[in-house]
Amino acid sequence: MSRATLINTALFLMLPITALVALALDEPFIITLATKVAILALAGVGLNIALGLGGLVSLGHAAFFGIGGYAMGILAHHAQTFTPLMEAPFLLEGTKFMPVIWVVAVIAGALAALAIGALSLRTSGVYFIMITLAFGQMLYYFAISWPAYGGEDGLSIYVRNGFPGLNTLDPIQFFVLCFVILALVLFCTGRLAAAPFGLALSAARQNAERVETVGLSPYRLRLLAFVISGAVTALAGALFADLNRFVSPTMLSWHMSGEIMIFVILGGVGRLFGPVAGAALFILLEHVLGGLSDFWHVYLGLLLLLVVLFARGGMIGLAAGREVAHD
Amino acid sequence: MSTLLLIEQVLNGLQFGVMLFLMAAGLTLIFGVMGLINLAHGSLYMVGAFAAAAVAGATGSFVLALIASLIAAAAAGAIIELVVIRRLYDRDHLDQVLATFALILIFSEGTRWVFGSFPLFLDIPDALAGPVLLPGGIQYPAYRLLIIAIGLLVAFGLFQLIARTRIGIQIRAGESDREMIAALGVDISKLYTLVFALGAALAGLAGALVGAIQSVQVGMGEPVLILAFVVIVIGGIGSIKGALVGALLVGLTDTLGGVLLPGFFGTFMETSAATAVGSSLASMSIYILMAGVLLFKPTGLYGSA
């Protein structure tokens, strides 16, 4: 077993161990933090499909995160107020049933990513960064100015949505649910990266012209990667909104995009478990530094600057000693 | 809607547009010459506004405040260029995004640390506080007219600088081939610092001028930064002319969209629904404009390659 695999395994097991220790010590807050790490890591894994595999620097992933959040918020809002979501052309009711919410979130995220990706991928490089950022902001302002679902105030859900056989309001049960989803998505992403699609996508990142000459379309490869990436991030958004039982335009703001990107970078771009390490470190910092000073973002900024300038492989890169190239 | 009101809104759109131009010009210069995407440009806008508010509070002079905003933003720009930005020129865009995002965190929280969370206020000087009467009987705030004038003057000056001076020639040469102008004996790192400080000074000036209309607070630069990105995408990266055209387009679309769209939907919908749809669409209008430009010209109106 290589050092990187060892570190990955340790990182992955760290989350359930933390949660179990917290359960034994009767510290539900720590379990909630571990849940938050699992969900944010999921969002990072989503971004990493576009960023790490596809080399697409998207600064608008908060859009998909927020769409997932609003998918949950809108469905649950209609269910708890007993109002139909839509009456014509056919009746559509809200729901408090998690699997349905997840499917809706994934589809909504994928469709949004298809639309945004189809336009943004016509460009590349710095244009792509600015355009994804701009489309993300567009949805943010739309959510603020659209009064039907709370506008700037957001939507609150009284009771967490249900999953058959589980009491989702119990912190440890909700953690297990989120963790299992994270594990499944990590497994699928790992398979995806090794599959012909993943290999072709990586090749398109490294040398698009060569990929084109063997008859593959880099545009379509990237668009598909962007859609999958958006769908996974939307799923994370639905879970995140359920964790807080609240969704607001903040989930769509570009600071969120930046934070999701920070999880990926702190961990190491293109590494499967990078976002898990990054999200864990981020939440840890938020609580350690946040406890020391109200101005902890200064320290976060300095740390991020140091990582970008001097530790380009991220945390796993530092620990495993070998850098994964990214461009 | 009366013609007078419409003209007033067009002027408001122009004023917003020239402010966006001051931001976008710096961003596009920095990208064109150094190939760097600078998210921290909004922080320099904020630095300018805070410097102006602090100096105006201490001395009471608006002119001194404007000068202070230029100096403070240029100095902040030069410092971050020397310490951080210069290490990023050879890096990929991802590293540039992250490092400048980190700078935003540092600047925003640092400012909150020094000045506190409450907004500061920068007063418009008394001489400019009232309205002026324009031909055709339009009353328009003198200060906003001044902003339009300053913006257009700066645009003119910038075009002259780029087209006619030695520095301008070096900047244009740097845009097309950095190695070559370094080989010809131009101190390229000094030129980079200079361009960065110039862009920063323009952002700082914009911050100070707008700060007198709105409040001066932490995070004020970010919405403007994102609009400036939209401007650059529409105008084409690296083109000052594109930045001017894009900025005016975005300024007018945003302002007029907010005024006209609710009324437009009001002609065939009930009032409350029309307001909701109209204002939501208005908030998205500039992004729709951007998407439209991208469909036909992915490199922007004046972009090359």
Chain A residues in contact with B236 (beta carbon < 8 A): none
Residue A327: predicted pLDDT: 41
Return d(Cα A56, Cα B99) in angstroms, integer: 17
Helix (H) or strand (E) holding A92: strand A92-93
Window A:271-300, CB contacts with B under 8 Å: 295-298, 300
Residue A325: predicted pLDDT: 44
Contact in structure between B98 and A265 (CB atoms under 8 Å)? yes
Q: Is the confidence at residue A1, as pLDDT, over 60?
A: no
Hey, is the C-beta of B40 within 8 angstroms of any chain A C-beta?
Answer: no
Out of A130, A135, A142, closest to residue B232 by CB = A130
Residue of B nearest to A269 (CA): B94
Hey, is the C-beta of A123 within 8 angstroms of any chain B C-beta?
Answer: yes
Q: pLDDT tens digits for B4-44?
A: 888 888 999 999 999 999 999 999 989 888 888 899 999 99
Residue of A nearest to B305 (CA): A123
Hey, is the C-beta of A165 within 8 angstroms of any chain B C-beta?
Answer: no
First CA to last CA distance, chain A: 28
Residue A320: predicted pLDDT: 67
Residue of B nearest to A127 (CA): B233
Report the domain count for chain A: 1
Residue A254 and residue B226: Cβ atoms within 8 Å? yes
User: A–B: how many Cβ contacts below 8 A?
Assistant: 120
Q: What are phi and psi of B129, to 5 degrees?
A: -70, -30
HSE-CB for B58 with a 13 A CA cutoff: 9
Contact in structure between B271 and B262 (CB atoms under 8 Å)? no
Window A:26-85, CB contacts with B under 8 Å: 51, 57, 59
Contact in structure between B37 and B229 (CB atoms under 8 Å)? no
CATH 1.10.3470 fits B3-296, yes or no: yes
Estimate the share of chain A in helix, then strand, then coil, as percent rounded to the nearest 5. 75, 5, 20
Query: Count of CB atoms within 10 A of residue A146's CB?
Result: 17
- Measure B272 CA to nearest chain A CA, in Å: 10
Hey, is the C-beta of B297 within 8 angstroms of any chain A C-beta?
Answer: no
Contact in structure between B203 and B44 (CB atoms under 8 Å)? yes
Out of B283, B298, B299, closest to residue A141 by CB = B283
Contact in structure between B233 and B106 (CB atoms under 8 Å)? no
Contact in structure between B28 and B235 (CB atoms under 8 Å)? yes
Tokens of B86: 């210069």
A148-170 average pLDDT score: 85
| Domain-embedded: residue A260 | no
Mean pLDDT, chain A, whole residue set:
88
**Residue spans per domain, chain B:** 3-296
Residue B117: predicted pLDDT: 83
Q: Is the confidence at residue A37, as pLDDT, over 70?
A: yes
Return d(Cα A98, Cα A100) in angstroms, integer: 5
Residue B198: predicted pLDDT: 94
Hey, is the C-beta of A116 within 8 angstroms of any chain B C-beta?
Answer: no
Residue B1: predicted pLDDT: 57
Return d(Cα B227, Cα A19) in angstroms, integer: 43
Lowest-confidence range among A32-36, A173-177, B100-104, B300-304?
B300-304
Instruction: Quote the crossing angle between the two packed helices A254-267 and A125-145, to the nearest 10°.
Output: 130
Cα dist. B52→B64, B79, B208 in Å? 8, 19, 6
| Domain-embedded: residue A50 | yes
Contact in structure between B215 and B120 (CB atoms under 8 Å)? yes
**Three-state SS string across B5-48, please?**
HHHHHHHHHHHHHHHHHHHHHHHHHHHHHHCCCCCCHHHHHHHH
Hey, is the C-beta of A324 within 8 angstroms of any chain B C-beta?
Answer: no
Hey, is the C-beta of B21 within 8 angstroms of any chain A C-beta?
Answer: no
* Parallel, antiparallel or unpaired: strands A155-156 and B138-141: unpaired
Hey, is the C-beta of B89 within 8 angstroms of any chain A C-beta?
Answer: no
Range of the domain at A202: 27-252
- DSSP assigned state of A85: E
Residue B284 and residue A147: Cβ atoms within 8 Å? no
Chain A residues in contact with B109 (beta carbon < 8 A): 295-298, 301
Return d(Cα A260, Cα A240) in angstroms, integer: 13
- Measure B226 CA to nearest chain A CA, in Å: 6
Which amino acid, residue A59? L
Lowest-confidence range among A24-33, A148-157, B34-43?
A148-157
Residue A138 and residue B284: Cβ atoms within 8 Å? yes
Return d(Cα A283, Cα A37) in angstroms, integer: 7
Q: Per the omega criterion (within 30 degrees of 0), is the bond before A164 cis?
A: no
- Measure A58 CA to nearest chain B CA, in Å: 9
Hey, is the C-beta of B265 within 8 angstroms of any chain A C-beta?
Answer: no
**How many whole angstroms from its chain centre is CA B45?**
8
Residue A258 and residue B101: Cβ atoms within 8 Å? yes
Contact in structure between B41 and B282 (CB atoms under 8 Å)? no
Residue A304 and residue B99: Cβ atoms within 8 Å? yes
Q: Per the omega criterion (within 30 degrees of 0), is the bond before A89 cis?
A: yes
Contact in structure between B2 and B260 (CB atoms under 8 Å)? no
Per-residue pLDDT of chain B (305 residues; tens, 9 = 90+): 578 888 888 999 999 999 999 999 999 989 888 888 899 999 999 999 999 999 998 998 889 999 999 999 999 999 999 999 999 988 888 889 889 999 999 999 999 988 888 888 888 887 787 888 877 777 888 899 999 999 999 999 999 998 899 988 888 888 788 788 888 888 888 889 999 999 999 999 999 999 988 889 888 988 899 899 999 989 988 888 899 999 999 999 999 988 888 778 777 777 777 777 777 788 888 888 888 888 888 888 887 65
